Structure 1
Amino acid sequence: MDTINILFCGTGGQGILTAAEIVGLAAMYDGHHVKKSEVHGMAQRGGSVESHLRFGKEVFSPIIECGKADFLLSFEKGEHERMKFMLKKDGIDLFEDFVKGQEKITNPKFLNTYMLGVLSKHLKISQESWQKALKAVIKPQFVEKNIEIFKTAAE
């Protein structure tokens, strides 16, 4: 299997780092080698946040090269515009799915889980590994609701 490159971007407080952590764990639970890197400036004040996630049979660097991202998950329009140059020519930009998710999900705290469900349709990671990763990262009182939203988006 080739290395999969996923770039998450948005602003502080949107759950960018949490979303990347969940995907990384799910890939790891499925037996992939995973590397992750985070860049966050003024994250606590709504500043730019990005997380590079790479997984596959063997991964040596956590940083995605310019124009090599297979997937772009943007959680904010300005950050989407700023980072879309990272997406490869035939890469998948999930920003339209994010906009649709904003209309469907009434509580924005669950929007990143919705986006992970959308992303899961494109990745060969088992549902068992996704659920295990959600349970490992999400606070126990919110796990069931997150799994429900994930499954809705993954269908």
Structure 2
Amino acid sequence: MTQVINVVVAGLGGQGVVKASDVLADAAFRCGLDVKKSEIHGMSQRGGSVASDVRFGPHVHSPMIPTGQADFLVVVAPDQVDVNRHVLKAGGLLVSPASLEKVPGKLQAKSINVALLGVLSRSLEIPLEIWEDAIRGCFPEKHHRLNLEAFEQGRQAVAG
């Protein structure tokens, strides 16, 4: 990887936005990349908007992604797509719950954030085993199976 990748993860409080950004940041770090992360919580304890910027690459100067410069926008809540679309650069990729329409099997609501990371993983140069290690590292052992399955379901939703 020769350039900095900018990813915004957005949604509502309680949907695992921060946890998803933690997994992404951990996966990039496990690849030996420089990683910076920032969060805006707003009224997140009451279901308000939450966004987290994750930047990674050979060398990252700032944790904040300039408006209109996100390579990827991962949105956990469908009603937050239009609210956050302005952060995505022209030609950037939107990953939203609509990306999961072809998920094989039943997807639990509490693991949609990780399923969306599975979708995102198809567009990033991070090996599958690194993603799996990051998921195991960010969740208690009792939640490993659920989240690993959700991640794989997200990957399968966009399998080519």
Aligned to 1:97: 99
For residues 86-107 of structure 1, the C-alpha deviation after alignment (integer angstroms, 9 at most, x for no partner) is 1000100112315x27996442
- Structure 1 residue identity aligned to 2:91: D
Query: Given the two structures, how large is their TM-score scaled by the length of structure 2?
Result: 0.90
Structure 1 residue 154, shift from structure 2 partner:
1.7
> In 2 relative to 1, CA 101–72 (structure 1 residues): closer, same or farther, beyond 3 Å?
farther
* Partner Cα distance (1:2, 1:125) in 2: 14
Pairwise CA RMSD = 1.7
Aligned to 1:60: 61
Aligned to 2:47: 46
- Structure 2 residue identity aligned to 1:124: E
Kindly tell me the number of residue pairs found equivalent between the two proteins: 154
Deviates more, 1:27-36 or 1:105-114: 105-114
Deviates more, 1:54-63 or 1:88-97: 88-97
Deviates more, 1:116-125 or 1:89-98: 89-98
* Partner Cα distance (2:150, 2:90) in 1: 30
Structure 1 residue 78, shift from structure 2 partner:
2.8
Percent identical among aligned pairs is: 36
Contact 1:102–1:108 (CA<8 Å) still a contact in 2?
no
Structure 1 residue 149, shift from structure 2 partner:
2.0
- Structure 2 residue identity aligned to 1:134: I
For residues 1-40 of structure 1, the C-alpha deviation after alignment (integer angstroms, 9 at most, x for no partner) is 1100000111100000000000000000011100000000
Structure 1 residue 69, shift from structure 2 partner:
0.3
Aligned to 1:145: 146
Query: Given the two structures, how large is their TM-score scaled by the length of structure 1?
Result: 0.93
* Partner Cα distance (2:67, 2:155) in 1: 28
More helix per residue: 1
Gaps of 5+ in 1: none
Structure 1 residue 132, shift from structure 2 partner:
1.0
Gaps of 5+ in 2: none
